[in-house]
Amino acid sequence: MESSTPSKIQRIIYATYLIAALDITLLFVQFSVTPYLAKKLGFDTLWFGYLQTTVGVIQLLGGPVFGRFADVFGARAALSVSSLASVVYFLLLAAADSTFMLFLHKLPAVFMHALPGAQMVVADLSPSEKRADALAKLGLCFGIGMIAGSSLGGTLSTRYGEKLTAYVAAGGSLISVLLVLNFIPKHTKKHNAKEDNKKGAGSVFSLGEIIRLMKFPGVAKTFTVKIISGLPSGVFQVMFSIIAMNFFQLQPQQNGYLMAYFGVVQMVIQGAVIGRLTSKYSENFLLLLAVGMSSMVGLGQALTTNIFQFCFVAVPMMFSLSVFNVITDSMLTKSVPASDTGTMLGLCASVQSLLRTIGPTIGGFLYESYGVASFGYIQFTVNASVFSLLLLSQRNTIQKS
């Protein structure tokens, strides 16, 4: 984006934060509907896992393509497509009265990548040295959305039913479309003719472009850590709605209050903590800290037996997750040219989709066979191993230098 004043850029970033907060709000409204609707339709834990896997596969396929689409056609087009897909998604959820319809309503999720789109705008418009802090502020939007969406979804679902709740979410997505069209510029990157000539519509589906990014220094290593370290916590997150309903025996409204609590913790961490940490410590140190803390959180989860204990464990859990996601996204976008940040963030989103794809199957098996404690023990073991390997790698790098 050329010849923009700092104040105009700041307005665009604020609008992006608002769009992200609205999208996350609607996402958590949906979380207050789907598990209880699935239960009414006769889904058991295994079938609910299949439903979550379906979403993961769909978004896994759509993430990289969405990122390339954003790089080629611009932020406004990408975010508009995402918001319109959300409208269709929630209308189909409102109409879901059978197993087939509940699966069918997940199909528009292939285009629903508002958070990666918002991350792309922020990454494009913020200086490199402040990128981690700017991305962390999107996590603040996540916390706001978690609070508002969980409370709204739980209240609407309890008092008025799942159908009306889904219609409200569809209306919210229409508002998101209007915000995108009015406040987000067509392009947020500094284009030139040479770059534009390289980018044709066909490149959106180019596997070679995606593979090329993985060859940049440090990208493959960071991606590997993001997948392996994130897998145990991803499995737990995917299964948490079932755990809250069956293990902690929470009702929809109580679950909404719990999500709101998570949101408050998230807001404090993302808004007041991460920015200060990134200004004082290196990203490699913070990555090591996040992975090490995640292993300890896993041990705490394994020993948790009631909701009050879990609320205590949730604080370091949210801290490690927030720092881990912000730092890995920041490291990866800094490792590639500015013209490819959308594709890179699409790939980051696909990591989360990959976890949601394989997570429900793994989670359903672990839950049925070994109980809730198994999630924590696996997280402790995996992250302790990754922590040891990262520490060894950093020591070797220091010795070589």
Q: Which of 238, 262, 260, 242 is nearest to 250 (CA)?
A: 242
Please give the pLDDT value at position 87: 94
Q: Which of 374, 110, 143, 90 is nearest to 239 (CA)?
A: 374
The number of angstroms, rounded, from the C-alpha of 223 to the middle of its chain's C-alpha atoms is: 15
Cβ atoms of 133 and 279 within 8 Å: the answer is yes
Phi-psi category of residue 216: left, alpha or beta, with phi > 0 → left and psi -120 to 50 → alpha: beta
Please give the pLDDT value at position 207: 67
The number of angstroms, rounded, from the C-alpha of 185 to the middle of its chain's C-alpha atoms is: 23
Please give the pLDDT value at position 197: 40
- Round to whole Å and give the CA distance between 6 and 1: 12
Question: What is the reported pTM?
Answer: 0.75
Dump the DSSP string for 81-128: HHHHHHHHHHHHHHH--SHHHHHHTTGGGGG--HHHHHHHHHHHHS-G
Give the SS3 label for residue 304. Answer: coil
Please give the pLDDT value at position 75: 84
> Taking the domains of the chain in order of start, what are their residue ranges?
6-189+205-400
Please give the pLDDT value at position 66: 84
Compute the residue count for the chain.
401
pLDDT by 10s per residue, the chain, length 401? 555 677 888 889 899 999 999 999 998 888 778 877 887 888 776 777 778 778 878 888 888 788 888 888 888 899 999 999 999 999 998 888 888 888 888 899 888 988 888 988 888 888 777 788 888 888 778 778 878 887 788 788 878 888 888 899 999 999 999 999 999 888 887 654 344 444 444 455 566 777 788 888 888 889 889 989 988 988 888 788 778 878 888 876 777 778 778 878 888 888 788 888 888 888 889 999 999 999 999 999 999 888 889 999 999 999 999 899 889 988 888 888 877 887 888 888 777 777 777 777 788 888 888 888 999 999 999 999 999 999 888 777 766 65
Locus of tokens 């479309």: 177
Query: What DSSP designation does 245 have?
Result: I
Please give the pLDDT value at position 241: 76
Locus of tokens 């070994």: 370
Cβ atoms of 76 and 156 within 8 Å: the answer is no
Please give the pLDDT value at position 120: 86
Q: The domain 6-189+205-400: what is its CATH number?
A: 1.20.1250.20
Query: What DSSP designation does 32 have?
Result: T
